[in-house]
Structure 1
């Protein structure tokens, strides 16, 4: 039986690369996005259903899952990929943007997962892949919201794997480093208030340092999609998958030094005073 995967956030980047990879390898794909009317490439593929899903809209989540089940009969895997990064001084960030960061990266992920759990439980099978980040294990300055949300994804995924394992459902966490997508564009929300002068030296240093990190490397989304493929198809109970050479390098350093040493290295990278 042909298996089916539902992926959130397939309009660009990793979500799109994952949809194309699974389609190429014979899976049915429910490719979801907030604005499917403008999609052409994925819509043209056989065995791909492009449908609307906004993780902040519970009705759209339910409708997307129902559409996938109506088209393909069952859904075997879920990739919670939709998300973005909010950076900037907390004091300069409006409360509505604080809420939106967690609504999208955490609450939307939970809502989408919850919508599929009755089917996975009935089938006593299924794989849930949550796209976390190296930023769910380490932090950059001014990333209070983004890293808070990704640390939350790490914790909820680890806890969830205990309760779903007896049902035959596996939970997987993907931890990419930099991905050569538009994360610095539509998927990046930087908040600042120049009137808060005390923060501006840090803002300038971090803006420069983050730009260097994004331009120095990272992986192509197709490479990270291969890790998603492995996580879903390897048949193991492995929870965490570090994806990309940069992620492997930084997490190796983080795991081998104490807090003071790691924080000093991070301050040095961004040119920050102790």
Structure 2
């Protein structure tokens, strides 16, 4: 029998690409999103169920899981992909905006996971694939709320993997870099644009915009396909492996974080984001 995956955030980007890839590989797919009117690139078929799931709405979570089980009999894997990024100067970000960042990126992921665990426990099988980020391993300016939420996803997923191992349930983390073509960057920019900024930050913002401009230019053009492939690998390889890094653009900082001393890591990051030396070019990037 074909296996079944439930994926959140399938209206675009990594979620949409993952839904398509699982379908191409013979899986049944429960493709979920907040607004099914945005499912222009997906439609319900004999092997694909497009249905509503808003990670901030507990009722919709329960309904989507029940609908998937009713249609396909069993759900074998969950991909917690839904999320967005709030990128802004922290001082200007309201508590409400930060709360929503965590509600979507962390608490919503936890709620979907909690809701499906009884089904996985009953079957003594299941794989949970959580979408993290390079920014969940290293931190960067303007990403304090986003990094905090993804750092939490990392800790939650690792701890959960130990809790569930004896029940035959695996937990995996995907740590991608940037992917400008997903629409994530556009949404992130919109979120940040409404945050008030004090003039004291203007010199820093001018500098950091140049840094991030260089990074965007070095983002992996095939990131969407590579992330989808990593999600599929994590869900199907049967290994007790926790972390997957699908794109090379974040590898330098991931290696600095995990393979060097704290002092060396901090030197790399401070060197990347510190105020520019007038004698050096303004644009710098970890990708070149």
| Band of TM-score, shorter chain | over 0.9
Q: Per-residue displacement from partner, 1:100-139 (whole Å, max 9, x unpaired)?
A: 0000000000000001000000000000000101111101
- Residue 57 of structure 1 corresponds to 57
DSSP-derived class of the 1:87 partner:
coil
- How far residue 255 of structure 1 moved from its aligned partner, in angstroms, is 2.6
Q: Per-residue displacement from partner, 1:215-265 (whole Å, max 9, x unpaired)?
A: 222243111111111111111100111121113333123333333433333
Check 1:187–1:47 CA distance in 2 against 1; reply closer, same or farther (3 A cut): farther
How do 1:11-22 and structure 2 match up within 5 A?
11-22=11-22
The question of whether the paired residues in 2 share the 8 Å contact of 1:83 and 1:187 is answered with no
Deviates more, 1:41-50 or 1:151-160: 41-50
What is the CA–CA distance in structure 1 between the aligned matches of 2:192 and 2:40, rounded to whole Å?
30
1:243 equivalent to 2:246? Answer yes
2:272 aligned to 266, 269, 272, which one? Answer: 269
DSSP-derived class of the 1:86 partner:
coil
What is the CA–CA distance in structure 1 between the aligned matches of 2:54 and 2:44, rounded to whole Å?
22
- How far residue 46 of structure 1 moved from its aligned partner, in angstroms, is 4.0
The question of whether the paired residues in 1 share the 8 Å contact of 2:87 and 2:188 is answered with no
- How far residue 44 of structure 1 moved from its aligned partner, in angstroms, is 5.3
User: CA RMSD of the aligned region, Å?
Assistant: 1.8
Give the number of equivalent residue pairs: 273
Runs of 5+ consecutive residues of structure 1 not aligned to the other structure: none
Q: Per-residue displacement from partner, 1:123-158 (whole Å, max 9, x unpaired)?
A: 000000001011111011121100000000000000
1:30 equivalent to 2:27? Answer no
TM-score, normalised to structure 1's length?
A: 0.94
DSSP-derived class of the 1:54 partner:
coil
How do 1:43-192 and structure 2 match up within 5 A?
43=43, 45-179=45-179, 180-188=181-189, 189-190=191-192, 192=195
Runs of 5+ consecutive residues of structure 2 not aligned to the other structure: 278-288
Larger strand percent: 1
Q: Per-residue displacement from partner, 1:2-22 (whole Å, max 9, x unpaired)?
A: 100000000000000000000
1:213 aligned to 212, 215, 218, which one? Answer: 215
- Residue 7 of structure 1 corresponds to 7
